[in-house]
Amino acid sequence: MHVPDGFIDAPVSVALGVVAAGGVAVGLRGARRELDERTAPLAGLVSAFIFAVQMLNFPVASGTSGHLLGGTLAAILVGPYTGVLCMSVVLLMQAVFFADGGLSALGVNITVMGITTAAVGYGLFKLLAAVLPKTRRSLGAASFVAALVSVPVCAAVFTLVYAIGGTTDVPLSKVAGAMIGVHVLIGIGEALITAATVSSVLAVRPDLVYGARGLVRPLELRTGGAAGAAGVPGQAAAPSSAAQV
Amino acid sequence: MGAGHAHNLYRAGDSPVHRLPPHCKLVAVVLFVLAVVATPRERFWAFGVYALLLAAVAAVGRVPLGYVLRRVVVEIPFVVFAFALPFLATGPKTEFLGLTVSHSGLLGAWNILAKGTLGVVASILLAATTPLRDLLLGMERLRMPQLLVQIMQFMLRYADVITGEMGRMRVARESRGFRARDVRQLPVVAKSAGALFIRSYERGERVHLAMLSRGYTGTMPVLLDVRASRAQWGAAALLPSAAALACAVAWFAGG
């Protein structure tokens, strides 16, 4: 749902451009805190990941297929600020180079798809993670709910923008109904794939999931040969530490 | 993965449009699109003027029409929405091609189609006449934060690598008999996404280490300084000023 040029009128587009620029500025400062000097390469690679994963189509129903938006996924995996930054970069690249989403609507797109999804998705994820027991399954459930809610909320925010600066006079209730209705369905797909992706990363490299830092135990190297041998935390080296600097 | 990225977006050439500094072209395109968006939709002639302006740029830049048309397809989802509009919108009805449709919905559909298409074509022309790397340098000249430009450089450089990795994972899945038929296959797709994330992130860590060992301190050296002369700014200003003129006439003189 990349908004093209001409869908939202000029004043609102410019105003949201300012909002988006502010959001990106906050993201830049926050990302430096999350990743320090590794920001450029890591955020760049994560952006490339989001870009690639948006091409990953999955079948929804009766021949149609959907693809991941990835805002919530990025926020949970790399942190909300870096997530906003990566989504904004992807949207900017898509608008400038691939003509996907209008240049004048870039502010709208970044505000709706980047900032809103990351803020809502990550906030909800942290809230649920704090309440639920600290297991991999419940973190998966938390990311499921976070992604499920973030997509219709993003549609609702778009409807709000449309109500202020829309250029067509389709009655608002119809737009809201269609947008939010469709996006509840998209949200289910997004939620399934987000939860499964977060769970699979948690299973292999829990240290990479920013949203779960301090919530999951580091992996242990189980030694002893016999099946069901207990871990030896003292001598165990987490497989992840080898790859870390 | 350094050189030889034949991004098929860029069409190499040596025309006046190709030679303009990238930041001039970026500013020109953004101003042009803003002028288009700000034009009242009832002034049909103004959109004709904009289309002619873009056609002139394409002619000077020697970008073939067929190439532009092939790339306009990104617009399709919104075209579908635009065609639905006349039937959704309320207000006075009107006759159009033998159908009774909403007058304002028809105008709204026209508005989205015209402005959206002009914006898409403007972006396509920009990407077709400017190498991606140069566009990033142009953004840097326009005071876009350094860190953001660096992130975009990394994204551009590795987008193909990551996409290629994803392609190989798909081949591996399919050669083991996997076919995504319905929602039940979603966990497999998601595990691939998870593996792709880990591979991307770890590649980022390796890239960072490689950069550190080559003396990276947080900023990239500027290898190519692009400057624009007054004449080049003037040439780049032709498109947006013509569009702004058309927009102003459309507002004040009516159609």
Question: How many structural domains are present in chain A?
Answer: 1
- pLDDT (tens digit per residue) in B88-135: 666 666 666 666 667 777 777 788 788 888 888 888 888 888 888 788
Q: SS3 letters for A131-178? A: HCCCCHHHHHHHHHHHHHHHHHHHHHHHHHHHHHHECCCCCHHHHHHH
Report the C-alpha gap between B137 and A174 in whole angstroms.
44
Task: Please indicate, yes or no, if residue A222 is contained in any of the structural domains.
Answer: no
Q: What percent of chain B has pLDDT over 90?
A: 4
* pLDDT computed for residue B78 by the predictor: 65
Of A10, A38, A204, the CB nearest to B34: A10
* pLDDT computed for residue B225 by the predictor: 65
Report the C-alpha gap between A159 and A173 in whole angstroms.
9
**Gap from A222 CA to chain B (nearest CA, Å):** 22
* pLDDT computed for residue A145 by the predictor: 93
Q: State mean pLDDT over B29-39.
A: 87
Q: State mean pLDDT over B133-152.
A: 84
Q: What percent of chain A has pLDDT over 70?
A: 82
Tokens of B191: 């595990």
A205 contacts chain B (CB < 8 A): yes
C-alpha distances out from residue A34 to A41, A42, A80, B30, B38, Å: 13, 11, 9, 32, 40
Q: Do B147 and A40 touch (CB under 8 A)?
A: yes
Q: Do B111 and A6 touch (CB under 8 A)?
A: yes
Structural domain range at position A201: 10-217
Amino acid at A243: A
Task: Please indicate, yes or no, if residue A43 is contained in any of the structural domains.
Answer: yes
> CB atoms < 10 A from the CB of A13, how many?
26
| Count of H-run helices and E-run strands, chain B | 10, 2
* pLDDT computed for residue A122 by the predictor: 92
CB B10 within 8 A of CB B130: yes
Q: Please, which residues have CB within 8 angstroms of residue B68's CB and are 6 or more apart in sequence?
A: B58, B121, B124, B125, B128
Q: State mean pLDDT over B12-33.
A: 86
Q: Please, which residues have CB within 8 angstroms of residue A139's CB and are 6 or more apart in sequence?
A: A129, A132, A198, A199, A202, A209, A211, A212, A215, A216
Q: SS3 letters for B134-183? A: HHHHHHHHCCCCHHHHHHHHHHHHHHHHHHHHHHHHHHHHHHCCCCCCCH
Task: Please indicate, yes or no, if residue A236 is contained in any of the structural domains.
Answer: no
User: Residue A175 belongs to a domain with what CATH number?
Assistant: 1.10.1760.20
State which H helix or E strand residue B22 sits in: helix B22-38
Q: Do B36 and A37 touch (CB under 8 A)?
A: no
* pLDDT computed for residue A124 by the predictor: 92
Task: Please indicate, yes or no, if residue A175 is contained in any of the structural domains.
Answer: yes
**Gap from A6 CA to chain B (nearest CA, Å):** 5
Best to test chain A binding among B81, B154, B185 (most A CBs inside 10 Å):
B154
CB A90 within 8 A of CB B162: no
**Tens place of pLDDT per residue across chain A (245 aa):** 577 777 788 888 889 999 999 999 998 888 888 777 777 888 888 888 888 888 766 555 544 555 677 888 889 888 889 889 889 988 888 888 777 777 888 888 899 888 998 899 999 999 998 888 878 888 889 999 999 999 889 888 988 888 887 766 667 777 777 778 778 888 888 888 888 888 888 888 888 888 887 777 667 777 776 554 444 444 444 444 444 44
* pLDDT computed for residue A234 by the predictor: 44
Strand partners, A58: A66
Q: Please, which residues have CB within 8 angstroms of residue B51's CB and are 6 or more apart in sequence?
A: B118
Task: Please indicate, yes or no, if residue A75 is contained in any of the structural domains.
Answer: yes
A-chain CB neighbours of B36 within 8 Å are 5-6, 104
Buried b (16+ CB within 10 A) or exposed e, B150-168: bbbbbbbbbbebbbebbee
Strand partners, A61: A64
- pLDDT (tens digit per residue) in B160-214: 888 888 889 889 988 998 877 766 777 788 888 888 888 888 888 888 888 889 8
Confidence band of B70 (pLDDT split at 50, 70, 90): confident
| Complex ipTM tops 0.85 | no
Residue ranges covered by each domain of chain B: 16-133+228-252, 145-213
Tokens of B24: 């001039």
* pLDDT computed for residue B4 by the predictor: 37
Confidence band of B233 (pLDDT split at 50, 70, 90): confident
